[in-house]
Amino acid sequence: MNNVRVLNLKNISDEKGNLTPIEATRDIPFEIKRVYYLYNVPQNQTRGYHAHKELQQLLVCINGSVEILCEDENGEKQTYLLDRADKGLFVGSMVWHEMMNFSKDCVLVVFASEYYNEIDYIRNYDDFLQLSNIKRQGSMYA
Ligand code: TYD
């Protein structure tokens, strides 16, 4: 998969419980400008259905579980199960992603490299395929 990686985060575990730290540019490959979280997602609700032109994100399910289907600009697809607070999914630019099977208690925290910017979204799947094609051809002839 291009631009998607599972990151095993530190888990400092002792008799007091667990602690997972995330340091920008050290534990994850970007500076963090924004954090948001998804929670109370109704049963069978899916979300996402977009890619980003530039944005890089780290998704961490800190409670419950959720599945993330990713498709990169080469058309490769993979589904990732996020079910641990010490497992992150890095999703870089040009990755179409769909979120599904949210457990009732799911809390999905997302660390993002940029402020919210609707202009950076690719919300139409055909636009994503077309842009992916252009990017692929660009890199072939570069
Ligand atoms: P959206 O990214 O479409 O959610 P999802 O892909 O999870 O279904 O965002 C939903 C709404 O929230 C949309 O109106 C934009 C708004 N929003 C913000 O205002 N700030 C943010 O940081 C994010 C991620 C979304």
Q: What is the pLDDT along the chain (142 residues), one digit of tens a residue?
A: 999 999 999 999 999 999 999 999 999 999 999 999 999 999 999 999 999 999 999 999 999 999 999 999 999 999 999 999 999 999 999 999 999 999 999 999 999 999 999 999 999 999 999 999 888 887 777 6
Residues serving a catalytic function are: 50
Q: In what order do the strands lie in the sheet with 87-91?
A: 4-8, 87-91, 57-63, 107-112, 34-39
Whole-number Å distance between alpha carbons of 67 and 124: 21
Helix (H, G, I), strand (E, B) or coil at 141: helix
What are all long-range contacts of 11-17, with beta carbons under 8 Å and residues at least 24 apart?
A: 11/85, 11/86
Tokens 């602690």 map to which residue? Answer: 19
Q: Which atom of ligand 1 is nearest to the CA of 36?
A: 22
Q: What pTM, to 2 d.p., does this model score? A: 0.95
Ligand 1, CB within 6 Å, residue ranges: 34, 36, 38, 47-48, 50, 116
The rounded Å distance from CA 101 to ligand 1 centre is 18
